[in-house]
Amino acid sequence: MLKPGLLVTVSVHSLTEKGDGIATLEGRPLYIEGALPDEQVEVQLNLVKPNFCQGTLVRVLRPSAARREDFCRYTACGGCQLRVMSDQAQLELKRQLLVDVLQARGLGCPVANTLGMNEPFHYRNKAQYAVKPGSEIGFYAKHSHQLVEVDECRVQAPATTEVVQRVRAWMRRCTVSAYNEITHSGSVRHIMVRDGIHSGELMVVLVVAEAPSNEALVQLVGEFESVVGLVSLMLNINAAIGNRVLGPESRLLWGKELIVDSLDGLEFAISPLSFYQVNPRQTEVLYREAMRLANLQGHETVFDLYCGIGTISLFMARHARQVIGIELVPEAIVDARANAELNGITNIEFHQGAAEQLVPRLYAEGVTADVVVVDPPRKGCDTALLATLAEMQPDRLVYVSCNPKTLARDLAWLCEHGFTLEQATPVDMFPHTMHVETVALLTRV
């Protein structure tokens, strides 16, 4: 009989969406963290339920050809799920995941090889460390608020390591307390680091429940002044109970309130609250692929829907007659307009609102696009938007997606309403994680 503690030998056949191995044990799925498809493994059962089991990997008896040595020493950290899979195998896995979801919807089209990074490390431009009593600084373990102390993270920009060390040294020297989320007392909650990887400009935001003494803040500025690339040191006050990292109030301690980063020769100003793609090198790859598929000749009107701070809009504006960007979050629209100005781009306008409301309204007023780009959040596009696009019949529709499932759902809908799916390209924006980003091209039938 199956019970916790039992050792079993199983063959792994696939991965869950979270990257855990799946084997079949007495007719039910057995989930094993750290096991890869095609492996035979010895597993100790932890959980035995009528419809699934969960176990700990004890030994790999027959390794997959894709297995490699773990590149990170923080085994409990929940950040990267595919650390023991070779880079090449990760790229193939991501392509296959996309092919599978498209096929499940009856969609067939050429799917390119995943566009990956040559050096898939130190790619993140934004880190959010949690701080806990005992000057523990790190990331949360999988599905928990258990802190895993992390000094050096291989996927973060290299400068973050020094920032963490300096904050820890400063907290000890000035006896600044860490926030305790159970008693809601103490000061430092999080450290946010933004490193415009291309520009090398660095922003450090210390998030506190209550401000440390002025003397301690003077010491903090002293601690950070010599950090190479530092452009902005800010204090953010977040006294609210809950998981939100940043509070509503920010104070400048040193430098400027913004850092600037560049993508393909365009500059973008980034404030603590701005949304900005976290892997700038791959963002260029993603946007260039979107540009290639959009195939702009210079005479088009382009809609950039879900435009964020206008990054794709500005890329497109350099090669189109006119771009209209639409975005829900008011602050992002303010940033988008400022970014257009910063780059001297004038053939562009931004509207704030929900794409599914604004696009039907614009269309009713006679405003149409030759090329439409959509880049929705994980839940995909609203049918009201898709229905308007089906009526509008742009020549090309470029769909940028961070969720293959909702992508496939929306592509299937569009293919039933006058579009042909021409091709799809997966782009690896988040190496060592299960995230798959895709750019797909639809044309009018």
Residues 423, 428, 433, 437, Cα dihedral to 10°: -40
Shortest distance (Å) from residue 378 CB to ligand SAH: 9
Shortest distance (Å) from residue 210 CB to ligand SAH: 30
Nearer to ligand SAH, 7 or 384 (CB): 384
Shortest distance (Å) from residue 214 CB to ligand SAH: 37
Nearer to ligand SAH, 411 or 439 (CB): 439
**415 is an active site residue:** no
**Residue 25 β-bridge partners:** 28
CA distance 288 to 265: 12
CA distance 59 to 81: 18
CA distance 329 to 311: 15
Q: Longest C-alpha distance within the chain, in Å? A: 71
Nearer to ligand SAH, 53 or 258 (CB): 258
CA distance 426 to 402: 10
Q: Which of 72, 174, 402, 415 is catalytic?
A: 402
DSSP secondary structure letters along 198-256: TTTEEEEEEEESSPPPHHHHHHHHHHHTTSTTEEEEEEEE---SSS-S--SEEEEEEE-
Shortest distance (Å) from residue 313 CB to ligand SAH: 8
Shortest distance (Å) from residue 305 CB to ligand SAH: 6
Nearer to ligand SAH, 32 or 359 (CB): 359
Which residue type sits at 440?
A
Which residue type sits at 45?
L
Nearer to ligand SAH, 147 or 414 (CB): 414
CA distance 333 to 350: 7
Interaction site with ligand SAH (CB under 6 A): 275, 277, 306-308, 311-312, 326-329, 332, 354-356, 375-377
Residues catalogued as catalytic: 402
